[in-house]
Amino acid sequence: MAKMRTVYNCGDCGASHHKWAGKCDSCGAWNSLVEDVEDPNEVTTLAAGMALVPPGEAQPINQLDAAVAKPMPTGISELDRVLDGGLVPGSVTLVGGEPGIGKSTLLLQLLSSWPTKSLYVTAEESAQQVRMRAERLHALRDDLWLLSEASITNIISAIEKVKPELIVIDSIQAVADPALGSAPGSVVQVRGCAHRLVQEAKRRNIPTILVGHVTKEGGLAGPRVLEHVVDTVLSFEGERHHALRIMRAVKHRFGSTSELGLFEMTELGLVGVPDASKMFLADRKPGTPGSVVVPTLEGQRPLLVEVQALTNATSGNAPARRSAQGLDPGRLAMLLAVLERRARISLSQHEVYASVVGGVKLNDPGSDLGLCLALVSAATNTPAPGDVVVCGEVGLGGEIRHVGHMSRRLAEAARLGFTRAIVPASGDYSQKGLTLQPASTLSEALAIAQLNGR
């Protein structure tokens, strides 16, 4: 038997190094290398697994049947939207997210709506804990089997015995192979166990879902280690103190990655939010200075969100405070500079707070103009018109630039009852129910919104 050897694996990307270093050569992460032991037999076991698969034969592409892998709906419509239809037989899906975001909750709900026999393997919680949660979620059913186990060998024998048609492993970091010398959660363990489960899923042709925790510190072997092993990577995101949860596909071998699913965490678990714009605007108080509605896009999905700003004059020479929530602070700083130079509105002697309501993160440059108007509205204590949405990217010259998918954004604004939109003058847009007010510069947009500065 070959000897175990010490290696240093990157907890972020999984790259293996022979020597310790402060920085991973492969992904550039700092302090991410962790000592591990590598078992040369792991490779042999994997090779043996591969040998079970019959040898492939090349075929003309036109003679292949493309319809073999039809997705099976999960019964959770927001999830099916992200998966482009559902779970494909034999596919392995990794669901990543920070602890406490709601991965176990969502998957338990999925298992309870799955039409056939399913197996939930909990490697972190006791079977009683899971049962209690399932009771609260009204997720108890005869076809849902539960196993509290962390050893991969025992998990695979349970799969053999139960013969489920859907498997959920919660979480892959807590599963370990006792034959591999390294600690549970290490790169070697996570990769080794995931490989075994992938083989099992392909061999039995059943969908398998692996839960993977992501921590900001990268303390555990991150899901990035597994991205190339699985077919689909879903990322479950949200602010812990907000109810909104967003599910995105980061990688999807069976469909598009552009859709996203929206959920709200409630007393009864996660509830799909088919009309997110309505939810985000529910608490809006039109007529408040500093509030502007922006039609943004999350993936392919149009969303109306409220951007808010608050400014406060400061005294003294210390740099005024800037705070951005749900927005890039660098973008806020740039827009403040553009406002000062191109529209002669200086907030250098003001504290500036800007935020996006509802726990949404705006990365869309189309929200620039809305944020500028919110800032000026706050600074001049003048409300922006309540029936207006604002969309456009702001350039360093103070020019308003075209943004993508305008028709989808404007249609969403019209659907929610807005009657006017300030849009880039360079585009040729139209939308039934909306009066479009084109602006080519920041100053023009401020004049249209009757926010003419001081």
Residues that bind ligand TYD (CB under 6 A): 97, 99-105, 133, 136-137, 265, 267-269
Least Å distance, CB 211 to Mg ion, is 6
Q: Which does 100 bind (CB under 5 to 8 A by kind): Mg ion, ligand TYD, none?
A: ligand TYD
Which has the closest alpha carbon to 107: 274, 239, 236?
A: 236
Strand order in the sheet with 16-17: 16-17, 5-10, 33-38
Interface with Mg ion includes 104 (CB under 5 A)? yes
Q: Which does 265 bind (CB under 5 to 8 A by kind): ligand TYD, Mg ion, none?
A: ligand TYD
**Complex with ligand TYD: residue 249 or 373, whichever CB lies closer:** 249
Least Å distance, CB 250 to ligand TYD, is 16
Distance CA 101, CA 14 (A): 24
Distance CA 168, CA 79 (A): 15
**Complex with ligand TYD: residue 131 or 133, whichever CB lies closer:** 133
Least Å distance, CB 189 to Mg ion, is 18
Least Å distance, CB 36 to ligand TYD, is 25
**Complex with ligand TYD: residue 84 or 264, whichever CB lies closer:** 264
Q: Which does 101 bind (CB under 5 to 8 A by kind): Mg ion, ligand TYD, none?
A: ligand TYD
Q: Which does 436 bind (CB under 5 to 8 A by kind): ligand TYD, Mg ion, none?
A: none
| CB contact at 8 A, 434 and 414 | yes
Least Å distance, CB 240 to ligand TYD, is 8
Least Å distance, CB 210 to ligand TYD, is 13
Distance CA 33, CA 17 (A): 8
Q: Which does 269 bind (CB under 5 to 8 A by kind): ligand TYD, Mg ion, none?
A: ligand TYD
CB within 8 A of 185, min separation 6: which ones?
A: 173, 174, 176, 220, 221
Residue count, binding to Mg ion (CB under 5 A): 1
Chain positions contacting Mg ion, by CB under 5 A:
104
